[in-house]
């Protein structure tokens, strides 16, 4: 489903703003008066958002929330906010959003929003639309199934190898992360669970000492967590809890040094991969 820049930004952006409360930034007003997000006057030859190809005409503005946040934390907060909105389906597949309009609604300049969107583009969650902004990727069931297969091919053999080589005390150190996924699943919030799930899997793969493996597997994991088009945008709480309990069961088997049980649980976990 394709949306115009005006229509999509007017509806989807509002949903994102409702999901996230990014406090107002001093640089936002300066940006509107010809200053950048560091408070300095924009050079005469420096392009603004429209000159960079972002369509802003006719897009609605919204009151900015109050408060202050350290400037260095803004990009990270907006990135977390956008990821949450994607995971919950508040930013819907096919919608187009421009950085200036999202920045207006978050109470910040367009720059940190644009940087966050570019990171999401690298993760495969959005795609650049020239002269308009960013479109939320429409991911169908087939693509998600393919991503699940890729995850299994990458991660499952590593888990089995690590199960034979990593001592029990190292596995025990991951217990807090596994328990954190259970708490996150119990909250029923898919965005919270997605973050905890990635942290646990990242910690397991880090035991391999292969940084490229951790990076590539993490990228595929992120892509697999965005909701497919035309289907429910979130997994049910029961599904999240069941998936999280597989983490603790796997740790128990790894600590106990039971390779047959580890093999069975790894197969089950990646067959219904999250």
Q: Roughly what angle, to the nearest 10 degrees, separates helices 175-187 and 190-206? A: 160
C-alpha separations of 222 from 43, 101, 106 in Å? 38, 25, 24
Same domain, 237 and 186: yes
CA nearest neighbour of 126 among 273, 270, 272, 12: 12
CA-based radius of gyration for the chain: 21
- Residues in contact with 188: Cβ distance below 8 Å, sequence separation at least 6, in sequence order: 237, 240
Element (H, E) at 148: helix 141-165
Same domain, 132 and 193: no
What are the structure tokens assigned to 42, written together?
């924009």
Same domain, 161 and 62: no
Residue 100 sits in a domain whose CATH number is: 1.10.10.10
pLDDT, residue 253, reads 97
Pick the last residue of a domain from 120, 136, 152. 136
CA torsion, ordered 250, 254, 255, 257, to nearest 10 deg: 140
Pick the last residue of a domain from 136, 168, 193. 136
pLDDT, residue 194, reads 87
Same domain, 78 and 39: yes
CB atoms within 10 A of CB 107: 22
* Helix, strand or coil, per DSSP, at residue 78: helix
- Domain range for residue 211? 141-271
What are the structure tokens assigned to 35, written together?
């200053």
Pick the last residue of a domain from 110, 136, 162. 136
Tell how strand 96-97 and strand 126-129 pair up.
Answer: unpaired
CB atoms within 10 A of CB 58: 11
Q: What is the pLDDT along the chain (274 residues), one digit of tens a residue?
A: 444 434 434 444 444 444 444 444 444 444 434 444 444 444 444 444 444 445 544 444 444 444 444 555 888 899 988 887 787 777 888 899 999 998 888 889 999 999 999 989 988 889 999 989 999 988 788 888 899 999 999 999 999 999 999 999 999 999 999 999 999 999 888 888 888 999 999 999 999 999 999 999 998 998 887 765 444 445 678 889 999 999 999 999 999 999 999 999 999 999 754 4
Domain count, the chain: 2
Same domain, 9 and 44: yes
Same domain, 151 and 123: no
Instruction: State pTM to two decimals.
Output: 0.65
* Helix, strand or coil, per DSSP, at residue 68: coil
C-alpha separations of 56 from 5, 25, 112, 133 in Å? 8, 20, 17, 9
pLDDT, residue 235, reads 60
Read off the DSSP letter of residue 42. Answer: P
- Residues in contact with 154: Cβ distance below 8 Å, sequence separation at least 6, in sequence order: 213, 216, 217, 220
**Bridge partners of 146?**
none
Same domain, 152 and 261: yes
pLDDT, residue 50, reads 42
Same domain, 154 and 122: no
Same domain, 42 and 106: yes
Same domain, 114 and 156: no
Residue 208 sits in a domain whose CATH number is: 1.20.120.530
pLDDT, residue 171, reads 97
Q: CB–CB of 146/268 below 8 Å?
A: no
Same domain, 211 and 149: yes
């Amino acid at each position: 489903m394709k949306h115009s820049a005006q229509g999509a930004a007017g509806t989807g952006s509002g949903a994102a703003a409702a999901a996230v409360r990014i406090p107002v930034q001093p640089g936002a007003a300066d940006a509107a008066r010809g200053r950048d997000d560091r408070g300095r006057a924009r050079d005469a030859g420096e392009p603004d958002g429209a000159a960079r190809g972002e369509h802003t005409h006719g897009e609605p503005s919204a009151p900015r929330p109050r408060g202050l946040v350290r400037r260095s934390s803004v990009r990270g907060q907006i990135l977390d906010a956008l990821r949450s909105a994607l995971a919950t389906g508040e930013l819907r597949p096919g919608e187009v959003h421009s950085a200036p309009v999202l920045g207006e609604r978050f109470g910040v300049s367009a720059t940190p929003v644009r940087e966050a969107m570019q990171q999401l583009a690298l993760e495969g969650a959005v795609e650049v639309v020239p002269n308009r902004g960013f479109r939320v990727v429409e991911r169908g069931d087939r693509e998600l199934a393919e991503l699940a297969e890729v995850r299994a091919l990458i991660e499952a053999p590593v888990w089995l190898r690590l199960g034979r080589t990593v001592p029990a005390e190292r596995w025990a150190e991951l217990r807090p992360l596994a328990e954190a996924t259970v708490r996150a699943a119990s909250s029923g919030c898919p965005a919270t669970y997605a973050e905890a799930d990635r942290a646990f899997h990242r910690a397991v793969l880090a035991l391999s000492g292969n940084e490229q493996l951790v990076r590539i597997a993490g990228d595929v994991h992120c892509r697999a967590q965005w909701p497919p088009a035309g289907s429910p945008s979130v997994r049910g709480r029961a599904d999240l809890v069941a998936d999280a309990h597989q983490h603790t069961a796997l740790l128990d088997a790894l600590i106990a040094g039971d390779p047959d049980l580890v093999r069975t649980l790894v197969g089950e976990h990646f067959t219904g991969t999250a």
